Amino acid sequence: MRDEPTLQLSEIFYSIQGESSHAGYPCLFFRLSGCNLRCSYCDAKYTYEEPATSTPLGALLNEATRYPNALIEITGGEPLLQVGVYPLMASLLAAGRTVLLETNGSLSIARVPKEVVKIIDLKCPDSGMAEKMDLSNLDLLAPHDEIKFVVSSRTDYDWAKGMIHEHRLAEKAKLILSPVIGRLAPAQLAQWLMDDGLPARIQLQLHTLLWPETKRGV
């Protein structure tokens, strides 16, 4: 019998999905530990600065059964760094669950099952990580997948606009622009979006609006 996979977990929490076209639905989050990027605005440093909890795959699947109607999001850190993420996704899909995967855009999604809703964070220049993006992922998207641009400035916005046009991204996935709070006023981003009529939606982090004082576990 093969050994049961073990995943390195940063946290597990039940909350409201807040950062995609699924925003607003109840969602169980598996936040995997570790990240290969260091974005300038990172608000999840604890995923790579604090110790992880080794968790067997079966324990995660049991946890999922406690919330039978919730979405399940696998996030990080960067979840694709761990090989155990593949049996986790496969098992959740086999159980009939809707699975979202949030990934930082630097690693290939080629092995991710088509049924998984992939939310790719395409890093803009102000993150300091734009050069790390694996752009071959843009040819592996399904219509239910999403590309998110986290925008800090006009430079970032213009870069996102250029990527949307150059790679015809609106034909490949749903597009989201999200402002970095404290760096860019949401109304400013909304105005740019309206002025250009981009085929994208602006999104504020719903969980941050719901629980402004809570930094983790939401």
Distance in Å, CB of 11 to ligand SF4, minimum? 13
To the nearest 10 degrees (0 to 180), the angle between helices 154-166 and 186-196 is 40
Of 7, 27, 28, 35, the residue at the interface with ligand SF4 (CB under 6 A) is 35
38 part of the interface to ligand SF4, by CB under 6 A = yes
37 forms part of the interface with ligand SF4 (CB under 6 A): yes
Output the six-digit token pair for 121: 């964070």
b (16+ CB within 10 A) / e for 135-165:
eebbebbeebbbbbbbbbbeebbebbbebbe
Residue 110 tokens, joined: 């080629």
80 binds ligand SF4 (CB under 6 A): no
Among 42, 140, 170, 206, binds ligand SF4 (CB under 6 A): 42
CA dihedral 78, 169, 88, 81 (to 10 degrees): -30
Nearest to 11 by CA among 75, 82, 89: 75
C-alpha span between 143 and 216 (Å, rounded): 31
Q: Least distance in Å: CB of 129 to ligand SF4? A: 7
178 near ligand SF4, rule: CB under 6 A: no
CB of 191 to ligand SF4, least distance (A): 25
Considering beta carbons, is residue 148 or 174 the nearer one to ligand SF4? Answer: 148
> Taking CB under 6 A as the rule, does residue 10 contact ligand SF4?
no
Establish if 216 lies at the interface with ligand SF4 (CB under 6 A).
no
Binding residue for ligand SF4 (CB under 6 A) from 44, 190, 204, 206? 44
Closest Cα to residue 101, out of 38, 201, 30?
30
Task: Give me the residues that bind ligand SF4 (CB under 6 A), please.
Answer: 35, 37-39, 42, 44, 47, 76-78, 104
